[in-house]
Amino acid sequence: MAKQKNFTVAQFFKRFPDDETCLKHLFQTKYGETLDCPKCGKNGRFSKLTDVPAFQCSWCAYRIHPMVGTPFEKSRTPLQKWFYAMYLFTTSRHGVPAKELERQLGVTYKTAWRMGHEIRKYMGKVDGDGMMFGHVEADETYVGGKKRDGKMGRGVNKAIVMGIAQRDGHITTRVIPNVRASTLHKAIWDNVAGGSRVSTDEWKGYRGLNRLGYKHETVNHSHEEWARGDVHTNNLETFWSRLKNSIKGTHVQVSKKHLQKYLVEFEFRYNMRGDKAPVMFDRLLVSF
């Protein structure tokens, strides 16, 4: 993943020195510099009110409250701290643990934990899951947990995560209950257009994709075959490696209950890897 440049801490605080500046940026990001008033229909600028966090139409005095319907609305945490937390998420390569938010924002651990999960939720909204096509990779991996003594098999006592990656495009990931053919086939059917090429490893759960209208090609990892021409799952293998290293190094462990939220956070970074941090920040903000 490309490093996020051109958004230093100093630049952040110069851009957002106080809550009022943050509120104005939130309004402009969601509605633009000018807009058609929902009440009178006239186009113009909305001015910031001094007594409430709202903006007023210069023609009819209709008010817009940009924080209403967002996590900011009922939060006691200052808007600038919310913005700084979002800044940390969009400039980090490995994620932001709640303890780090607690330390940098000066809030309680409970507040930091809740803020982090709210931000991850909206990262998922930005990313979305469009239908993939062309040449895609499909693979599954196992996250967390440990194999019980005497137990054998793929991913015993671990969360199972399936990924689908469009070549030179987006990745989508999901926690799945098992690696049976019915589960893997449905995930591919729901996310990949018919007629596409699908590259996987040799796992038996992928057999039969040709009958669903896909051109299915495999590499045999058990025989140390990692690529055959352009048939491989290397993009997903790289994504899995970074995901696991980041979870281990940043969060230590993630529960199955909340794993999907962390997955969409890493999807967000991967899928916006060509954008600079300020663009990522504003894309995230507008989703709130």
Question: Is residue 145 located within the same domain as residue 100?
Answer: no
Question: Is residue 86 located within the same domain as residue 160?
Answer: no
Question: Is residue 49 located within the same domain as residue 146?
Answer: no
Question: Is residue 32 located within the same domain as residue 59?
Answer: yes
Percent helix, strand, coil in the chain, to 5, is 45, 15, 40
- Six token digits for residue 276: 């600079």
Residue 265 forms part of a structural domain: no
Q: For residue 13, with 0-12 CB atoms within 10 Å meaning exposed, 13-18 middle and 19 or more buried, which class applies?
A: middle
The reported pLDDT for the residue numbered 2 is 40
Question: Is residue 232 located within the same domain as residue 152?
Answer: yes
Residue 225 forms part of a structural domain: yes
Give the count of beta carbons closer than 10 Å to the beta carbon of residue 159: 20
Question: Is residue 139 located within the same domain as residue 250?
Answer: yes
Question: Is residue 108 located within the same domain as residue 178?
Answer: no
The reported pLDDT for the residue numbered 254 is 83
> Whole domain around residue 121: which residue ranges?
9-127+273-286
CATH number at residue 244: 3.30.420.10
Question: Is residue 103 located within the same domain as residue 189?
Answer: no
Tokens 């000066």 -> residue: 106
Q: How far apart are CA 124 and CA 101, in angstroms?
A: 20
Residue 264 forms part of a structural domain: no
Residue 222 forms part of a structural domain: yes
**Looking at residue 248, what DSSP letter applies?**
I
HEC profile of 14-26: HHCCCHHHHHHHH
Question: Is residue 187 located within the same domain as residue 241?
Answer: yes
The reported pLDDT for the residue numbered 1 is 38
Residue 161 forms part of a structural domain: yes
Residue 101 forms part of a structural domain: yes
Closest among 91, 14, 6, 135 to 100, alpha carbons compared: 91
Residue 75 forms part of a structural domain: yes
Q: Which pTM value belongs to this model? A: 0.87
* Residue-level pLDDT, tens digit, the chain, 288 residues: 344 456 899 999 999 999 999 999 999 999 999 999 999 999 999 999 999 999 999 999 999 999 999 999 999 999 999 999 999 999 988 889 999 999 999 999 999 999 999 999 999 888 667 899 999 999 999 997 655 554 544 545 689 999 999 998 899 999 999 999 999 999 999 999 999 999 999 999 999 999 999 999 999 999 999 999 999 999 999 999 999 988 887 887 788 888 999 999 999 989 888 888 899 999 999 999
Question: Is residue 87 located within the same domain as residue 166?
Answer: no
The amino acid that residue 180 corresponds to is R
Give the count of beta carbons closer than 10 Å to the beta carbon of residue 226: 13
Question: Is residue 57 located within the same domain as residue 90?
Answer: yes
- Return the half-sphere exposure (C-beta side, CA atoms, 13 A cut-off) of residue 8: 3
Number of structural domains the chain divides into: 2
- Six token digits for residue 79: 């808007």
Helix (H) or strand (E) segment spanning residue 141 = strand 135-143
3-state secondary structure of 171: strand
Residue 4 forms part of a structural domain: no
Question: Is residue 42 located within the same domain as residue 91?
Answer: yes
